[in-house]
Amino acid sequence: MDSNSLISKTATELSGELEAGNCKAVEIAQAYLEQIDRVDGKVHAFLHRDDDDFLAQAKDSDERREKGETLGPLDGIPVCLKDVISVEGQPLTAASKILQDYVSPYDATVTRKLKAAGAVIGGRLNLDEFAMGSSTENSAYGPTRNPWDLERVPGGSSGGSSAAVAAREAPLTLGSDTGGSIRQPASLCGVVGMKPTYGMVSRYGLAAFASSLDQIGPFSQTVEDTALLLETISGHDPLDSTSYPTEVPSYSEVLKQKHEPCTLGLPKEFFGEGMDDEVRTAVEKAIEFYKGKGYEIVDLSLPTTDLSIPVYYVIATAEASSNLARYDGIRYTSRSERAENAVDVYAKSRGEGFGEEVKRRCILGAYGLSSGYYDAYYLRAQKTRTLIRQDFERAFEKVDAILTPTSPTPAFKFGAKSEDPISMYLSDVYTISTNLAGLPGLSVPCGFTQSGLPIGLQLIGKAFNETTLLSIAHDFDRELQFGRQAPNLED
C-alpha cells in the first residue's frame, strides 16, 4: 500500500488494514515520517521527533501481531502527544524556554494506557507555552501554521495536535483543554477534537495549567476515531485524586449501534453578536441536518454565559500562578546565568524562561489570590462558577446536548489578536463555560468558508455521558465527514 493512501486513512481504517494483514505497523510509521518530512517545514506541528524510537515501537507491534499477541485495535497505530504530556525518556518543554532541557523520567497515565494498548507514540507537538493561548503563537519555539492556510493560526493552545491531524502527520493526537484548547484548534483546523468530562481522563503526567479545568482529550479525522482513542485513555486512576471512579463503556462499540434522535438545545447567548456570518450559516445547516434526522431542536438560555470569561481568567490564572511556581531554576528548569543570589535564581530564571503571556497570567493569578483581594476575586469567581454549572444543570433537564458554534470565527491571521490579549481571550467565548461546568464538549467539522477555511460545530453533553455526546456527533459526522477532507500542502 502506498504511503499517500496510508496517511489519508482514519485510525479505524488503519487498524482494519493491519488486522487484514494488508500492511505493517512499520510501513504506517514510515509513511507518517515521510509526510512529516514533506510538510512539517511549513506547518511546524512538531517540537521534537525521535524517529528511531517511533520505528522501534512499530516494529514491536508487528512482532506482537506475528505472534498473535496484538494488544487491541490501537496496536500499531501512531499517536502523537501535545508537549505537556509526559513520556518517559522524552523531552517535555510545554513550549517554554524554562523546560528546554527537561526530559521526563516517567509516563503520564494516558501514555501508560496508550503503550498498554500497543499504540506507537510519536513526536512532541507544539502548543502555546504552558497551554496558555488560543493561537499557538505563544510557543517559545515558533508558531504552528494552519494547514488550510499557512498565513493563519491553527488555534490553540493544542495547535500542534490539531494541525498534525489536519496535515495528515498523525492519525491520532492528544491535546489538553482548559478553556477550549482542544475544541477551538480542532474547529480551526477542520478535525474532530473532544474534551471529556472533568475526571474522566487522568491528569497524572499532564503539566498542569489550571488543575480544576484541565482535561486531556483526543483529536482525529472522525468521531469514530475519537471514540476509539477516548475509550483507551479514560478511566479511574488512583494517581489522580480528581479522577472519577466510573466504568468506561466501549464507545466505539456504542457507535455501531443505532442511536435514536433526541433533543438538542440552542442557547440564545451563543448565537448573538460577534459571530462570523459564514460560521452562522454552517452551524444553521448543521441544525437543519439534525432536524431532518428527527432531532427535536429547542431554544434555551444560559444567562451566566457572559460571566464565564471573567470567572475563567480569575480561576485559571490563580491556579496557574501556583502550578507554575515549581519552574524556578532550582532543580530541572533552566537557571539564569545572570543569577547572583537566591532571589535572583527565581526572579531572573523565571523572567528569562517564561514568555509574556505566561508572566501576565502568573501575575494576574497571584494578584487575585493576594490577601485583601481573595474574597473579591477568587472566592467570588468560585461562587459564580457554581451558578454557571447550575445553568447547565437546568438546561440538561430539557435537552440531551447543547449545540453551538465552537469558535466565533474561522482561523485568523498571525498577529491579528496577539497584541490584544482581551480579543484573544474572547476567541474562547463559546468553549470556556464547558470547562467551568466540568462537562464534556466536542468540536466536529461542519463545513468550510468560501475561502476554504474549516468551521466547527460544538456539542456539549451531560457529565459522564460521553456515550450520548459521541452518538449525536457521530450521526452528523458519519454522513458528512468534513474531517476526511485534507488540505493541499503541495508547493
- The residues that touch other proteins, with contacts defined as CB under 8 A, are 84-86, 92, 94, 99, 102, 104-106, 108, 203-208, 210-212, 238-242, 318-319, 321-322, 325-326, 328, 330-332, 342, 346, 366, 369-371, 374, 378
Q: How far is the CB of 17 from other proteins (least distance, A)?
A: 34
Cβ-contact 128, 354 below 8 angstroms: no
Q: Which one from 181, 187, 220, 252 is the annotated catalytic residue? A: 181
Lookup result for grid cell 485534507: 486
Our CB check for other proteins shows the closer of 247 and 340 to be 340
Our CB check for other proteins shows the closer of 242 and 481 to be 242
Lookup result for grid cell 468550510: 448
In whole angstroms, what is the distance from residue 270 CA to residue 283 CA?
A: 12
Q: Which one from 86, 134, 139, 157 is the annotated catalytic residue? A: 157
In whole angstroms, what is the distance from residue 109 CA to residue 218 CA?
A: 15
Q: How far is the CB of 342 from other proteins (least distance, A)?
A: 7
Question: 156: Cβ–Cβ under 8 A, 6 or more apart, which residues?
Answer: 127, 128, 133, 134, 135, 136, 137, 138, 181, 184, 185
Closest CA to 114 of 178, 192, 172, 30: 172
In the structure grid, which three cell numbers stand for residue 151, read together?
498565513
Q: How far is the CB of 175 from other proteins (least distance, A)?
A: 15
In whole angstroms, what is the distance from residue 337 CA to residue 439 CA?
A: 44
Q: Which one from 82, 195, 348, 417 is the annotated catalytic residue? A: 82
46 phi and psi angles, rounded to 5 deg: -100, 140
In the structure grid, which three cell numbers stand for residue 423, read together?
480579543
* Neighbouring C-beta atoms of residue 466, cutoff 10 Å: 25
Q: How far is the CB of 112 from other proteins (least distance, A)?
A: 12
In whole angstroms, what is the distance from residue 18 CA to residue 78 CA?
A: 12
Decide if 268 is catalytic: no
Our CB check for other proteins shows the closer of 178 and 433 to be 178
Our CB check for other proteins shows the closer of 263 and 370 to be 370
Q: How far is the CB of 111 from other proteins (least distance, A)?
A: 10
In whole angstroms, what is the distance from residue 88 CA to residue 166 CA?
A: 27
Decide if 82 is catalytic: yes
Our CB check for other proteins shows the closer of 158 and 220 to be 158
Our CB check for other proteins shows the closer of 251 and 312 to be 312
Q: How far is CA 467 from the centre of its chain?
A: 19
Write the single-letter amino acid at 267.
Answer: P
In whole angstroms, what is the distance from residue 379 CA to residue 49 CA?
A: 43
Decide if 5 is catalytic: no
Q: How far is the CB of 340 from other proteins (least distance, A)?
A: 11
Active site residues: 82, 157, 181
